[in-house]
């Protein structure tokens, strides 16, 4: 018998929240799942698909009596949601989130939740997703063998931390703890900066004054490089701003690396380019190999 997480409230029934709900139900690990969101069509569809049992537009109503509250909205909406649910939380409620940056979420939680609930707030980030969004894209196996990073702080309740760890393990994820600032730096480097670069490349090409439509001549490499530029603009707007300190720091390093390669191109320095490209290729091939085998 797997554990039950009791009454679960999912605030934000999109790809991430919806997939977690799907997976919990597939495991029989939730007694009752209430979904909360703004889009009535999406919520009704979530009930039809069996992802949630009931829905409401009101976050406070959604969390009433819930044992576990999962905040799965865009980062920019997190503070507001926490403020709205704070007065309605049951004493036993454990709260977690799925945001792609964690320092900003912890600050919002400390500001918006009473201390007893802040101690039962476990910031988390499942490293999974897709450029699609909405409950239609949700799937029960989204988290299988994906990493989930939890960023507890000194006064995080150990029982709440253990429960949220079991929540993600229950849906197949590999869970680990990390310092929130380190999380934000690592994700800025491996996810947030690549998104900014992909958006920047497409936007740059849109601005070219060319007699042909350059996109007509783009091929598979361009398609894959820019896949993440098909991600949700509002979600990535929020991530860029909420994690701006770490994002700008790694962006500065990237600009310096690009400038170095650029100088090698200008100078026709074949050796320098080959050395850098070969080093990058080895690291990227190694990343793919490790990912395939773990």
Near its own copies in 143-202, by CB under 8 A: 146-147, 149, 178, 182, 185-187, 189-191, 193-202
**Nearest to its own copies of 92, 234 (CB atom):** 234
CA–CA distance from 272 to each of 115, 238, 246, 275, 276 (Å)? 55, 37, 29, 5, 6
The least CB distance from residue 66 to its own copies, in Å, is 29
**Nearest to its own copies of 162, 267 (CB atom):** 267
The least CB distance from residue 253 to its own copies, in Å, is 5
What tokens appear for 203 in the block?
């936007």
Q: What values do phi and psi take at 110, rounded to 5? A: -65, -35
Would you give the DSSP letter of residue 72? -
The least CB distance from residue 264 to its own copies, in Å, is 8
Instruction: Give me the sign of the Cα torsion angle 140, 285, 216, 265.
Output: positive
DSSP H stretches of helix in 120-269: 158-170, 180-187, 193-206, 220-225, 233-242, 244-267
User: For its own copies, which residue of 89, 142, 171, 251 counts as binding (CB under 8 A)?
Assistant: 251
| Rounded Cα gap, residues 265 and 270, in angstroms | 8
The least CB distance from residue 153 to its own copies, in Å, is 18
3-class SS of residue 258: helix
Q: Which stretch binds its own copies (CB under 8 A): 47-55, 62-70, 109-117, 253-261?
A: 253-261
**Nearest to its own copies of 88, 142 (CB atom):** 142
Per CB under 8 A, contacts with its own copies among 22-81 are: 76
Q: Are 96 and 170 in contact (CB under 8 A)?
A: no
The least CB distance from residue 192 to its own copies, in Å, is 10
Per CB under 8 A, contacts with its own copies among 90-149 are: 127-130, 146-147, 149
Q: Which stretch binds its own copies (CB under 8 A): 25-33, 132-140, 157-165, 274-282?
A: 274-282
Rg of the chain (C-alpha set): 21
**Nearest to its own copies of 44, 274 (CB atom):** 274
């Amino acid at each position: 018998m797997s554990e039950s997480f009791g009454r679960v409230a999912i605030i934000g029934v999109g790809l991430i929240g919806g997939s977690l709900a799907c997976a919990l139900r597939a495991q029989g690990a939730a007694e009752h799942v209430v979904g909360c969101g703004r889009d009535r069509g999406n919520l009704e569809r979530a009930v039809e698909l069996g992802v949630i049992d009931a829905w409401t537009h009101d976050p406070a109503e959604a969390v009433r009596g819930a044992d576990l509250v999962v905040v799965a909205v865009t980062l920019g909406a997190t503070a507001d949601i926490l403020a709205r649910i704070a007065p309605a939380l049951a004493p036993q409620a454990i709260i977690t989130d799925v945001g792609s940056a964690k320092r900003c979420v912890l600050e919002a939680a400390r500001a918006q939740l009473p201390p007893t609930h802040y101690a039962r707030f476990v910031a988390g980030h499942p490293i999974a997703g897709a450029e699609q969004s909405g409950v239609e894209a949700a799937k029960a196996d989204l988290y299988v063998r994906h990493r989930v990073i939890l960023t507890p702080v000194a006064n995080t309740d150990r029982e709440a931390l253990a429960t949220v760890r079991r929540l993600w393990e229950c849906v197949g994820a590999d869970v680990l703890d990390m310092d929130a600032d380190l999380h934000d730096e690592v994700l800025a480097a491996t996810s947030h900066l690549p998104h900014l670069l992909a958006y920047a490349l497409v936007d740059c090409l849109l601005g070219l004054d060319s007699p042909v439509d350059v996109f007509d001549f783009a091929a598979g490499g361009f398609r894959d490089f820019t896949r993440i530029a098909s991600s949700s603009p509002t979600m990535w707007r929020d991530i860029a701003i909420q994690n701006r300190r770490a994002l700008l720091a790694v962006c500065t390093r990237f600009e310096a690396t690009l400038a170095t390669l650029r100088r090698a191109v200008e100078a026709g320095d074949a050796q320098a380019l080959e050395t850098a490209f070969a080093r990058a290729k080895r690291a990227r091939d190694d990343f793919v190999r490790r990912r395939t085998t773990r």
